[in-house]
Amino acid sequence: MLHKDIKKVLITAEEIQKRTDEIAARISKDYEGEPILMVCILRGAVLFFADLVRKINAEINFDFMAVSSYGAGLSSSGEVRIMKDISGPIQGKNVIIVEDIIDSGNTLCYLKRLLKQRHPKSIRIAALLDKPERREADIEGDYIGFKVPNEFVVGYGLDYNEKYRNLPDVCVLKPEVYEK
């Protein structure tokens, strides 16, 4: 049964798992035998990260970063603040940043530039969703789950005002939810 605030399901939990399998297989192949530092961007990427890492066949370490580019609401402020940095040096490591969605691209553009200055061996981006119509920054993901239309989405980690992250599918909210 659908949550009362949901207008429609855009991507089902099943589709997400199938696509995550494919991305994990690609990553396993691309990094063959090389260790990877997987960096989860809190909080939106948590579920994607958890499902993705367990499907990758490689030596993996975890780290976590929290950034804030949004206040409450639907659009990016363009300003990125680091709320929590990764816990160790990344020099000489293969880093994959795992994000929930690339929207304007400002967050990932900033993050990638920041981490590059720390001299990793390589740095790539895995994002569950991509909203190319909204792009402002010159950035592309290396591993993308799904392209989505210019609609605000929630579920499978993504929130609206910190709600709906636990929904198993990627969904569109009813318009009246935003009007409240």
Which one of Mg ion, ligand IMP, none is in contact with 76 (Cβ closer than 5 to 8 A by kind)?
A: ligand IMP
Q: Whose Cβ is closer to ligand IMP: residue 71's or residue 92's? A: 71
Which residue in the shown chain puts its C-beta closest to Mg ion?
Answer: 44
Exactly one of 90, 95, 100, 171 binds ligand IMP (CB under 6 A); that residue is: 100
Residue 152 touching ligand IMP (CB under 6 A): yes
Contacts of 171-177 spanning 24+ positions with Cβ under 8 A:
171/3, 171/6, 171/7, 171/8, 171/9, 171/10, 172/6, 172/7, 172/8, 172/10, 173/5, 173/6, 173/7, 174/5, 174/6, 174/7, 175/7, 177/5
Q: Verify whether residue 159 is a known catalytic residue.
A: no
Residue type, position 157, single letter: G
Shortest spacing between CB 29 and ligand IMP, in angstroms:
27
Single residue of 40, 44, 65, 169 touching Mg ion by CB under 5 A: 44
Comparing C-alpha atoms, which of 109, 108, 65, 107 is closest to residue 87? 65
Residue 23's region, left for phi above 0, alpha for psi from -120 to 50, else beta, is: alpha
Instruction: For residue 106, state whether it binds ligand IMP (rule: CB under 6 A).
Output: yes
Of 20 and 107, CB closest to ligand IMP: 107
Stretch of residues binding ligand IMP (CB under 6 A), selected from 3-11, 15-23, 54-62, 68-76: 68-76
Applying the rule CB under 6 A, the residues between 75 and 94 that interact with ligand IMP are 76
What's phi and psi for 117, nearest 5 deg? Answer: -65, -15
Short-list 153, 9, 166, 163, CA closest to 72: 163
Number of residues interacting with ligand IMP: please give it, by CB under 6 A: 17
Interacting residues with ligand IMP (CB under 6 A)? 44, 69-70, 76, 99-107, 152-154, 158
